[in-house]
A and B are shown apart, each in its own frame.
Chain A
Amino acid sequence: MLVRAAKKRIKILVATLSLLILIAIFSLVVLRDNILYFLSPTEIKNSENLNYSKKIRVGGMVKTGSVSINNNEINFIITDLSNEIFVTFKGTVPNLFSEGKGVVAEGKLKDKKFFIAKRILAKHDENYMPPSAEKILNKDVK
């Protein structure tokens, strides 16, 4: 009797474990497919093996004075102070998008200096100041 109970328990244990492992593998595979690399213009410039067919995110500041709009697209420059990248985007930018503010663009790279965005995410902030005004770690130059 006891043996049978023990066997049953082992069976349940094995079943649960294998189910868990399967779920874990499934989740990790999906996770791997949905990773968006987040790069700054400098990292794009320095990177050697860029994947031009995979979606990435580029983050930085919208350079002041760089935004221009025409018939069907918006062009602007994302800067991280050291390097810049041109971004073109069709569609509505979120209402927090503005010059001198933080921005994250999601899309694909055309080349190292040109980025085609599919989605623009502006950062919202509890303060008025551009994020720059906040203290940033290691902000001083070594």
Chain B
Amino acid sequence: MLSNLGNLFITLTLLSSFLLIYYSAVGLKKNGSLIPEKIFRISKTQCLFTILSFFILLVAYIFSDFSLINVYENSHTTKPLLYKISGVWGNHEGSLLLWIVILVIFSLLFLNLNKLADKKFRLFTLIFQNILISGFLIFLITNSNPFSKLYPVPNEGMGLNPILQDPALAIHPPLLYLGFVGSSIYFSAALASLITKYNGSNFAKTIKFWVLTSWFFQTIGILAGSIWAYYELGWGGYWFWDPVENSSLMPWFLMTALIHSILILEKKNDIYLWVIILSILTFTMSVTGTFLVRSGILNSVHTFANDPSRGLYILIFLSIMIFSSLYIFYKYAPSKKSNFQFLSKEFFILINNWFMIFFLIVVLIGTLYPIVLEVISEQKISVGPPYYVIVMAPFLIPFLYFVSRGPQAQWFSAQSNNKKKNFLVLFFSVVIILVFFYFTKVKDVLINLILIFSIYLILQTILDFFRNIKKNYFNLSRIISHLAFGFLIFFISINSIFSTEYDLNLKNGEKIKLDNYEIELKDLNILNEKNYKKIVGNVIIRDQKKDTFEFLEPEIRVYNMPETVTYEASIKSNLFFDTYVTMSNLSGSEFYNLKFQRKPFMILIWLSIIFIGVGGFLRLLPMRQKK
């Protein structure tokens, strides 16, 4: 019943998509500056259809209708409601449906939000959007249908992997998708803009909202994924340079580049082609990321259910997308020369773009190199995390410098009268680090330089803030994001130097002394929960220097549907450091393995990322008011 309804609605969505393409094409030929009312109506109905189909899947999950294979494979009656809901997008089919729903909603919003834009431009964008929508829908219907039936109907489902039952991961995919799919709008708009020879500065104004929105969600999405890895994966890291993580980071670089470069396009009507290229690349990168994740061609720690036919479809789709945009670009791109003033604001923004592209290429090479090598030489390799750090870290130093200089520069001219001040700030940052160095004796030159320049950025941004107050002109969103970025780099560097980690095996009741700590496994309790049994260890950590105690309760959980063991880290956070303990026990030996970690500034790292996002979000608010 639900299966048929669901199938009906997705078919209707596909039909509306075809209709929209047809009517938009007809509308293009007609004169007049208004988009036919019909198109708005179809677009709204289409939106209704997809939301309904998603709603049906949601209902199937909430009421555990196991006649759908998808629900059977990913849900269970005893699962908490939150995870029944997040189960909808916790698997390939459901997440693809969510992707399409967001795509449809965004297209409708685009159509409605840009009433002032040129008709042809909007219609072309709508056509490209609907080509994308139908492409994904055909994929969904033919290959990954979440509404496939199962007969006979089982009484109980297989449940969701306990490791995925986590609030951060429940919201992670929707957030990332808002980012990924948001970039489809400016992909389509860029192509439409090329074809209709749309005015560059108007184009910038139209896509600005979407760039900011997608960037904001992407930032928060990456954060949620990172927090999940930190809490659930149990080895205390928050970023692993894993291909799956990289594929969410790569579009982020491009979006960040775009946020900056559309400013030039908007103000100066320059670098039009560059913005177009970035817009096209961002969505392409998003789909490439999806391809890498879903096709399973990567040797990743995160494996998703792999199905080569899925990979094949996405790859064909991707190549069509890339080659047709390349063709459109080739055919319609106007040739235009830019004129640049050295050290003007545009100059610094372009420098930002170069760095972003550089970071992108580094990550891209690290991610794709193993694939290429495997095809060519049949050698399986993976690229170790040090590669990313060693290549990118030195470039952070000039990057931080340019980030602090950029906002002071003037549009169109190279005037600068802050040379003395800049030097003073730099001098001050060096002094701070020297004092810091005196106490800590961190010998790594690179880390010290990065610290100096992150402090430099922080100080410069604060000064910038005061200058803004004087001038009574605020660019609060830039100040917040740049400041938070400076803090982020600062905290990450500190965290990487001062994290400590101990591994030890203890019997119940035993204690052990390590450096300044005394660690005791006091006792173990066994508790029964709704769908799992847990062994809770009472761990006492005594800091002998400060004579303080900390009580932690790491858990070993044994889930019953079907039997899966997970280890829950016990984390005590405060503003300055996290204490992180995981406990494991294998094959019923009397020894419990404890991993004890001290990680400074974790909370502040999360906060910095949140504030980077908040900065972007603030930009969205006044834009809304203008409309």
Contacts and interface: CB of A to CB of B under 8 A. Distances in A.
Given A126-B92, A126-B304, A36 B381 contact: yes
Contacts of A41: none
A123 interface: yes
Choose among A31, A74, A95, A135 the residue with the greatest number of B CB atoms under 10 Å from its CB.
A95
A30 interface: yes
A37 interface: yes
Nearest to B370: A38
A6 B586 CA distance: 71
Nearest to B504: A72
Interface residues of B, number: 59
B382 A38 contact: yes
Contact of A126 (B232, B234, B305, B386): B305
Contacts of A91: 503, 593, 595
Interface in A38-89: 38-40, 43, 55, 57, 59, 67-72, 74
B362 interface: yes
Interface stretch (B139-147, B200-208, B266-274, B295-303): B295-303
B406 to A, nearest CB: 19
Interface string A8-42: 00000000000000010011001101111111100
Interface in B77-105: 90-92
Contacts of A92: 234-235, 503, 582, 584, 593-595
A125 interface: yes
B243 to A, nearest CB: 12
Given A37-B380, A94-B233, A95-B234, A124 B387 contact: no
B288 interface: no
B179 interface: no
B386 A34 contact: yes
Contacts, number: 147
A47 to B, nearest CB: 10
Interface string B404-438: 00000000000000000000000000000000000
A137 to B, nearest CB: 5
Interface string B280-310: 0000000000000000000111111111100
A91 B384 CA distance: 20
A122 B381 CA distance: 17
A25 B232 CA distance: 38
B345 to A, nearest CB: 19
Nearest to A59: B299
Contacts of A96: 163, 233-234, 566
A117 to B, nearest CB: 13
Contacts of A39: 380
Contact of B235 (A30, A94, A102): A94
Contacts of B464: none
A123 B362 CA distance: 25
Contacts of B505: 71-72
B159 A128 contact: yes
Contacts of B234: 92, 94-96
Nearest to A39: B380
A123 to B, nearest CB: 5
A95 B230 CA distance: 12
A30 B284 CA distance: 27
Contact of B233 (A23, A37, A71, A95): A95
B567 interface: yes
Interface string A86-118: 000011111110100010100000000000000
B293 to A, nearest CB: 10
Contacts of A40: 380
Contacts of B301: 104, 121-124
A38 B593 contact: no
A124 B302 contact: yes
B446 to A, nearest CB: 13
Contact of A30 (B90, B390, B585, B587): B390
A12 to B, nearest CB: 10
Given A92-B234, A95-B567, A71 B304 contact: no
A5 to B, nearest CB: 11
A124 B593 contact: no
A69 to B, nearest CB: 5
Contacts of B304: 125-126
Contact of B384 (A36, A59, A98): A36
Contacts of A136: 306
B303 A74 contact: no
Nearest to B584: A92
Interface string B143-184: 000000000000000110101100000000000000000000
B221 to A, nearest CB: 17
Given A69-B586, A69-B587, A38 B381 contact: yes
7 contacts: A31-B391, A69-B586, A91-B593, A94-B567, A96-B163, A125-B303, A131-B303
Interface of B: 73-74, 90-92, 158-159, 161, 163-164, 232-235, 299-308, 358, 362, 365-366, 369-370, 379-387, 390-391, 503, 505, 562, 564-568, 582, 584-587, 589, 591, 593-595
Given A59-B380, A98-B564, 6 more contacts: A31-B391, A69-B589, A69-B591, A92-B594, A94-B234, A94-B235
- Of all A-B residue pairs in the complex, the 8 with the closest CB atoms, nearest first, are A95-B567, A34-B387, A38-B380, A92-B595, A95-B234, A91-B503, A34-B384, A69-B589
